[in-house]
């Protein structure tokens, strides 16, 4: 594994360990001891399958695109001289906005939703939910993000920082943890918090179709998809999708097949 890969893996493993420990010490919702082994096997199983599938393929697509764009003078920042730090910052903000729209489209376009519903049919919400994605969605996302890397002419290091932030924030905002309300309010001005993202995993569809943000919370406010809290009590709300609560929708093989099921 190269230096970038090791750095990203180190950051990911550290944040995963911190969140899992935090959930164990101070869980917000009661921990589902019975369902957890199946859920964690499914969620981390998906992570391992996606990691194996992307290892030698699209896993490096974004970095390779950034290097290639730099060598060939392609993309906005390779054509217009902007100080490196500012260019990196803008690249991160633009990529976060692009991924907000990617996420929103996976809820709107029926074909994309078939794959994205794997993420939403988790009946609980904890750090493992952050890695519950169908491998096809992971591969498609790498291609989508690479297009924006090329468009911006993002620096390879900005890509490494962005990707680390994206996976780090996913682990953070799927945590079964809770901040005191005033602190959560303060954080929410800038970034997506677990209390904000939990709304997105409500089984009430109007709430599922809200709070699409990953890192910055501004996109949901700007594009009018922000819901402050669920109609039900945030603590006791039902998580998941009503039509996919059976055991067939929860196993590793079951979720791999879920996009191809009728309806
Ligand atoms: Zn979603």
User: Model confidence over 194-216: pLDDT tens digits?
Assistant: 999 999 999 999 999 999 999 99
CA 95 – ligand 1 centroid, Å: 17
pLDDT at 186: 95
Q: Which residues pair with 168 in a beta bridge?
A: none
Across residues 175-189, what is the average pLDDT? Answer: 94
CA 103 – ligand 1 centroid, Å: 6
CA 239 – ligand 1 centroid, Å: 12
| pLDDT for residue 57 is more than 80 | no
- Name the DSSP letter for residue 31: P
How many whole angstroms from its chain centre is CA 134? 12
What is the tens place of the pLDDT at every residue in 136-150? 999 999 999 999 999
The burial of 65, by beta-carbon neighbours within 10 Å (0-12 exposed, 13-18 middle, 19 or more buried), is given as buried
CA 104 – ligand 1 centroid, Å: 7
pLDDT at 148: 95
CA 107 – ligand 1 centroid, Å: 7
pLDDT at 34: 61
Q: How many helices (H) and strands (E) does the chain have?
A: 13, 0
| pLDDT for residue 75 is more than 90 | no
CA 80 – ligand 1 centroid, Å: 35
CA 117 – ligand 1 centroid, Å: 8
| pLDDT for residue 181 is more than 80 | yes
d(CA 225, CA 202) in angstroms, rounded, equals 14
When divided into structural domains, the chain yields a total of 1
CA 231 – ligand 1 centroid, Å: 18
Domain that holds residue 216: 3-260
């Amino acid at each position: 594994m190269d230096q970038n890969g090791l750095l990203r893996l180190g950051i990911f493993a550290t944040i995963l360990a911190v969140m899992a420990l935090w959930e164990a010490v101070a869980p917000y919702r009661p921990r589902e001891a019975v369902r957890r082994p199946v859920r964690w096997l499914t969620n981390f199983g998906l992570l391992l399958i996606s990691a194996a599938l992307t290892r030698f393929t699209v896993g490096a697509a974004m970095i390779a695109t950034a290097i290639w764009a730099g060598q060939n003078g392609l993309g906005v920042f390779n054509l217009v001289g902007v100080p490196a730090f500012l260019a990196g910052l803008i690249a991160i903000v633009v990529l976060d906005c692009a991924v907000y729209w990617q996420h929103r489209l996976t809820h709107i376009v029926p074909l994309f939703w078939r794959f994205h519903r794997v993420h939403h049919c988790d009946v609980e919400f904890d750090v493992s939910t952050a890695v519950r994605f169908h491998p096809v969605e992971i591969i498609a996302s790498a291609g989508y993000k690479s297009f924006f890397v090329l468009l911006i002419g993002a620096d390879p290091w900005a890509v490494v920082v962005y990707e680390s932030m994206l996976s780090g924030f996913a682990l953070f905002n799927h945590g079964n943890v809770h901040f005191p309300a005033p602190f959560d309010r303060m954080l929410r001005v800038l970034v997506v918090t677990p209390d904000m993202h939990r709304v997105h995993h409500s089984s009430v569809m109007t709430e599922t179709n809200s709070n699409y943000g990953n890192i910055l919370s501004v996109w949901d406010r700007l594009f009018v998809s922000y819901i402050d809290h669920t109609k039900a009590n945030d603590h006791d709300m039902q998580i998941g999708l009503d039509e996919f609560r059976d055991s067939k929708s929860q196993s590793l093989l079951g979720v791999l097949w879920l996009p191809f099921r009728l309806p």
